[in-house]
Amino acid sequence: MSLVFGAVADDLTGGLELAAMIRAGGVPCAFVTELPDSVSDPAIVVARRTRVAEPALAVADIGRVGAWLIERGARQLFFKYCATFDSTPHGNIGNCADVLRQLTGSRLAAFCPSFPEAGRRVFQGHLFADDRLISESPKRYDPLTPMTDPDLVRVLQQQTATPVGLIPQQIVRAGLGAMTQHCERLIADGIGFALTDAAVPDDLAALAALTVSWPLMTGNSSIAAYYPALWRERGLVDANDSVTRLPPVRGPGVVLAGSCAEKTMRQLEVFARDRPVLMLDLAAVSDADAAVTAALDWALPRLADGPVAIATSADPDAVAAVQVKLGQRRAATLAEEILSKLAQALRISGVRRFLIAGGETSGAVLDRLAIHSLRAGAYRAPGVSQALSEGATPLAFCLKSGKLGPEDMLLPMLASMEQGEQP
């Protein structure tokens, strides 16, 4: 089979979730962070760290991956970003989509960030987090990509010179014919990008049917759950494809949290009811290596009794104070440096199961461990997916978006890695 689906993700947690969605649909899907020599699966997700990169660097990186996928015959490119449309007025969604549109020659590319299962919905172009606009949710306090404008047409238009339109809910609900006609009108009007409304899973299914043959599609991972069945209907993948379950991974387990999302903070609180949590205060760190050594000395004796958590997470006021002291970028890179070096030291000490909270933290950890590909397990729920590294001594990972997952997920997820995927 040829390469049916070539995706590039702007961070690792979302990329892994996308690969897990495809695998849950019964289609083998590779997950890599660096471009491999070849692709044998019908789908591949290349996860990069472009979400908060300098815009010019992000565009170059996404373009490089897109060109590589096209050279290998990818039938469709998919650009994956967060359901909360994490970006700034300078990028990196619209600007990266521009380069992919140029590579594919797409007349129109759709943007579908909605993730109803996680409470992220778009209505009349406005993004909601559960029952409130994204600009009224905790996402407005994000230390790197605060969302203060819920109008995604306006947000996206700030990042691109390509005219942006909307496929509103009434058109989505009217069916495939109505959507197709609406898209032709947008193209005739010179529109190159279209935000899509989606509030319920049926909306995603309808949009998947509309876009399954488009050369370029963009969005959150949720819409991709509907593609495998459509590929089978069209004979694009083997109807008998299946994926093997992940085996158990024994050995100590740890949580490393760099996300400052409210959900991650709550998950750490719940974890602390049963197991120790070390909260690192970045404002008090004068030497990263010394902080790593102290955290390692704290963790190793406790791992004999079960998992532990180490976090640089903090509430909005504490984050603001650290950013004032260190600067926004230095505060983020310090957290990544400490947690990634900790992961390296913990692996040497025998830790085999890692739950990493935060997209940037996940990228930093895998980079430090020199892990460039993972075997993704099947998607289970928002923020709940696991993966295995290759090699003689595999490591188990859950790369968790800071904003997702049940409050009590940390300990059960580590236990699931030890048990392996169940039928």
Q: What is the DSSP string of 278-315?
A: EE--GGG-S-HHHHHHHHHHHHHHHHTTS-EEEE----
Three-class SS state of 316: helix
- Please report whether residue 355 resides in a domain: yes
Structure tokens at 24: 């849950």
- DSSP state letter for 134: G
- Please report whether residue 41 resides in a domain: yes
Q: What is the mean pLDDT of the chain?
A: 92
Q: Is the same domain home to 259 and 189? A: no
Percent of the chain residues past pLDDT 90, beyond the cut: 73
Q: Is the same domain home to 38 and 135? A: yes
Q: Is the same domain home to 95 and 132? A: yes
81 burial level (CB within 10 Å; 0-12, 13-18, 19+):
buried
- Please report whether residue 294 resides in a domain: yes
Query: Of 233, 265, 286, which residue sits at a domain end?
Result: 233
Q: Is the same domain home to 266 and 218? A: no
Three-class SS state of 69: helix
- Please report whether residue 239 resides in a domain: no
Three-class SS state of 380: coil
- Please report whether residue 313 resides in a domain: yes
93: domain CATH number?
3.40.50.10840
Query: Of 233, 263, 290, which residue sits at a domain end?
Result: 233
Give the pLDDT confidence score for residue 378 in this predicted structure: 85
pLDDT in tens, 390-415: 877 899 999 888 888 889 999 999 99
Mean pLDDT of 8-15: 92
pLDDT in tens, 34-52: 999 889 899 999 999 999 9
Q: Is the same domain home to 186 and 284? A: no
Q: How far apart are CA 338 and CA 163, in angstroms?
A: 42
pLDDT in tens, 51-100: 999 999 999 999 999 999 999 999 999 999 999 999 999 999 999 999 99
Q: Is the same domain home to 207 and 279? A: no
Q: Is the pLDDT of residue 268 over 90?
A: yes
- Main-chain phi, psi angles of 149, to 5 degrees: -125, 120
Give the pLDDT confidence score for residue 319 in this predicted structure: 75
**Predicted confidence band of residue 209 (pLDDT cuts 50, 70, 90):** very high
Mean pLDDT of 212-234: 96
**Lowest pLDDT segment from 143-157, 349-363, 381-395:** 381-395
- Please report whether residue 240 resides in a domain: no
pTM score? 0.87
Which range has the top average pLDDT, 102-111, 318-327, 333-342?
A: 102-111
Q: Is the same domain home to 100 and 145? A: yes
Q: Is the same domain home to 228 and 292? A: no
Three-class SS state of 56: helix
What is the span of the domain harbouring residue 400?
253-419
Give the pLDDT confidence score for residue 219 in this predicted structure: 97
Q: Is the same domain home to 108 and 209? A: yes
**Predicted confidence band of residue 1 (pLDDT cuts 50, 70, 90):** low
Structure tokens at 154: 């306006």
Q: Is the pLDDT of residue 331 over 80?
A: no
322: domain CATH number?
3.40.980.20
**Predicted confidence band of residue 184 (pLDDT cuts 50, 70, 90):** very high
Number of domains in the chain: 2
- Please report whether residue 166 resides in a domain: yes
**Predicted confidence band of residue 29 (pLDDT cuts 50, 70, 90):** very high
Query: Of 204, 233, 262, which residue sits at a domain end?
Result: 233
Give the pLDDT confidence score for residue 84 in this predicted structure: 94
Q: Is the same domain home to 210 and 138? A: yes
Q: Is the pLDDT of residue 271 over 80?
A: yes
Q: How far apart are CA 127 and CA 114, in angstroms?
A: 8
Give the pLDDT confidence score for residue 242 in this predicted structure: 65
Q: Is the same domain home to 109 and 179? A: yes
- Please report whether residue 244 resides in a domain: no
Q: 315 or 54, which is more confident? A: 54
Kindly report whether the peptide bond that precedes residue 240 is cis, defined as omega within 30 degrees of 0.
no
Q: Is the pLDDT of residue 423 over 70?
A: no
Mean pLDDT of 167-192: 98
Q: Is the same domain home to 97 and 169? A: yes
Helix locations, 128-274, DSSP H: 152-158, 169-173, 176-188, 201-211, 227-233, 262-271
